[in-house]
């Protein structure tokens, strides 16, 4: 299994081992964004997996996002979550470390929009 990250190439050489220059902490730089990254999130991805959804299309969409923006921390953290769900701890750790080096703060959108007291 492999996916490319712009000029870099990520390759799973054996289960639990990702190789990529992008995942090398010496080559990454933190990204300063105005807003925290908004990943799909663990609850949604786990529900999809338990409902029997094929996470391959989600994985491919996230890889496309990384190909367009190699510093998309939300996509990396979601890839890490999918690797965890699929039982690939080594891949999960590498992807999670890459995401956390880019950005430490993530945001989850509320399930139900918050309303002001005057709206009630």
Domain residue ranges of the chain, discontinuous segments joined by +: 2-107
Average pLDDT over residues 42-64: 94
- Band of pLDDT at residue 31, cut at 50, 70 and 90: low
User: Which residue, 75, 98, 82, is CA-closest to 18?
Assistant: 98
All residues at 6 or more sequence positions from 77 whose CB lies less than 8 Å from its CB, including other chains = 37, 39, 95, 96, 99, 100, 106
Would you state the pLDDT for residue 108? 80
Packing angle of the helix pair 73-85, 56-68 (nearest 10 deg): 150
Q: Tokens in use for 66? A: 């990384």
Would you state the pLDDT for residue 30? 52
pTM of the entire predicted model: 0.68
| pLDDT tens digits, 5-22 | 333 444 444 444 455 544
Round to whole Å and give the CA distance between 81 and 63. Answer: 13
Average pLDDT over residues 47-70: 93
**Higher model confidence: residue 70 or residue 113?**
70
């Amino acid at each position: 299994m492999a996916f490319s990250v712009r000029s870099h190439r990520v390759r799973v050489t054996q289960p639990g081992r990702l190789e990529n220059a992008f995942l090398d902490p010496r080559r990454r730089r933190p990204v300063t964004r105005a807003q925290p990254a908004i990943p799909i999130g663990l609850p949604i991805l786990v529900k999809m997996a338990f409902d029997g959804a094929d996470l391959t299309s989600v994985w491919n969409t996230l890889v496309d996002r990384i190909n367009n923006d190699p510093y998309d921390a939300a996509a990396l953290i979601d890839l890490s979550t999918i690797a965890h769900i699929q039982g690939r701890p080594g891949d999960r750790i590498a992807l999670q470390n890459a995401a956390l080096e880019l950005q430490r703060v993530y945001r989850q959108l509320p399930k139900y929009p918050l309303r002001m007291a005057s709206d009630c």
